[in-house]
């Protein structure tokens, strides 16, 4: 007697904690009502990028035999499918565009956040100018679409008006982080934070299982496995001794200036921005009473100002000196 056939594997089987997103995307494919553009909106690190790869697998695999799906998934994950164009924010180093991972591999110091540039939007247009080579349609994914410069965002609007036989997927943390005209042209797919149990399952199946031994990191991640992993890496980079000093307000001007010099010298901009968010959470969680006066919230306000100044390319040492000096009791 022959064995019963195994049920077909779902392209979304590795995406946890996002039943609404899976249902909406699956329904669109099943009913052949795939939108010209989607906005995958929700917190960082909860699976938006993975969902885009799963969606690509579902679209491209619709006409393939089940035996071909494993190879298809591997090609998509490696960025080796001719009908999938993935756009990441980049730095400009020696007049060459470099992604975040490439900059890290090169050991390059970054003083400004990465952005999606106008040239990358033009490359999307060139990609969409040809017909799909293997799949029923072409797919374009814009990671951190909220990092687009204004000129790039305006150029993307023209592409969204006439995408042809293609679908664009924008990944962003909030609706407000994008131009309203971009949002209005996209079908929204919401993504939620994961439960603690779901986070533990995701982290346990990755090479970052050590994060599970740090409940403080899991608490700070607030339902985002990707954020938990980022917290872990940043903490390792900054070091426990420096973090311990920064968890408390500097006690005198000399300590404040010394810390400011150390932070600006040793940490890249992304690490400094992460540190601000981390310290804000630490100060908030460390309150021993409900804040009733501006003094209680002073560190939070100062750190938020520091974030704004750093994003405006103000010198990091000056930013930290002013911030930490104002925190001295």
Average pLDDT, the chain: 88
Beta-carbon neighbour count of residue 63 at 10 Å?
10
Angle between the N-to-C axes of helices 19-30 and 48-60, in degrees from 0 to 180, rounded to the nearest 10? 20
Average pLDDT for 199-227: 84
Identify whether the C-beta of residue 120 lies closer than 8 Å to the C-beta of residue 90.
Answer: yes
Region of 32 (left: φ > 0; alpha: ψ -120 to 50; beta: rest) is left
| Number of Cβ atoms within 10 Å of the Cβ of 94 | 6
Helix, strand, coil percent content, the chain, rounded in steps of 5: 55, 10, 35
Q: 24, 143, 135: which is closest to 81 by C-alpha?
A: 135
286 pLDDT band, cuts 50/70/90, is low
Q: Which CATH number fits domain 19-190: 3.40.50.300, 3.30.43.10, 3.50.50.60, 3.10.300.10?
A: 3.40.50.300
Q: What is the pLDDT of residue 180?
A: 93
* pLDDT one-digit tens code per residue, 25-73: 999 999 999 999 999 999 999 999 999 999 999 999 988 888 899 999 9
**What span, in angstroms and rounded, lies between the C-alpha atoms of 49 and 32?**
22
Q: What are the residue ranges spanned by the domains of the chain?
A: 19-190, 196-327
- Identify the residue with better confidence: 3 or 61: 61
pLDDT of residue 294: 46
On whether the CB atoms of residues 11 and 57 are closer than 8 A, the answer is: yes
Q: What is the pLDDT of residues 130-189, one digit of tens each?
A: 999 998 999 999 999 999 988 999 999 988 988 888 999 999 999 999 999 999 999 999
Answer with the residue of higher pLDDT: 3 or 261: 261
């Amino acid at each position: 007697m022959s064995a019963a056939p195994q049920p077909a594997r779902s392209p979304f089987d590795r995406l946890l904690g996002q039943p609404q997103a899976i249902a909406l995307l699956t329904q669109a494919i099943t009913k052949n009502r795939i939108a010209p553009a989607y906005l995958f909106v929700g917190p960082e690190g909860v699976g938006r990028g993975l969902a885009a790869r799963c969606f690509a697998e579902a679209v491209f695999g619709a006409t393939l035999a089940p035996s071909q799906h494993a190879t298809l998934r591997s090609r998509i994950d490696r960025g080796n499918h001719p009908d999938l164009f993935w756009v990441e924010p980049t730095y400009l180093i020696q007049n060459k565009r470099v992604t975040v991972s490439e900059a890290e591999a090169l050991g390059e110091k970054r003083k400004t956040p990465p952005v999606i540039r106008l040239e990358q939007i033009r490359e999307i247009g060139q990609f969409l100018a040809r017909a799909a080579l293997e799949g029923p349609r072409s797919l374009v994914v814009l990671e951190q679409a909220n990092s687009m410069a204004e000129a790039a965002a305006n150029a993307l609007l023209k592409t969204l008006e006439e995408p042809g036989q293609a679908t664009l997927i924008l990944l962003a943390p909030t609706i407000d982080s994008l131009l309203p005209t971009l949002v209005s042209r996209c079908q929204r797919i919401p993504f939620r934070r994961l439960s603690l149990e779901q986070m533990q399952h995701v982290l346990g199946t990755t090479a970052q299982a050590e994060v599970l031994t740090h409940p403080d990191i899991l608490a700070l991640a607030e339902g985002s496995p990707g954020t938990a992993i980022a917290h872990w890496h940043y903490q390792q980079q900054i070091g426990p001794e420096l973090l311990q000093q920064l968890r408390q307000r500097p006690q005198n001007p000399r300590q404040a200036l010394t810390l400011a010099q150390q932070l600006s010298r040793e940490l890249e901009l992304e690490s400094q921005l992460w540190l601000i968010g981390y310290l804000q959470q630490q100060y908030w969680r460390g309150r021993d009473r409900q804040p009733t006066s501006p003094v209680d919230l002073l560190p939070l306000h100062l750190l938020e100002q520091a974030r704004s100044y750093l994003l405006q390319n103000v010198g990091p040492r000056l930013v930290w000196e002013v911030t930490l000096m104002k925190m001295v009791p």
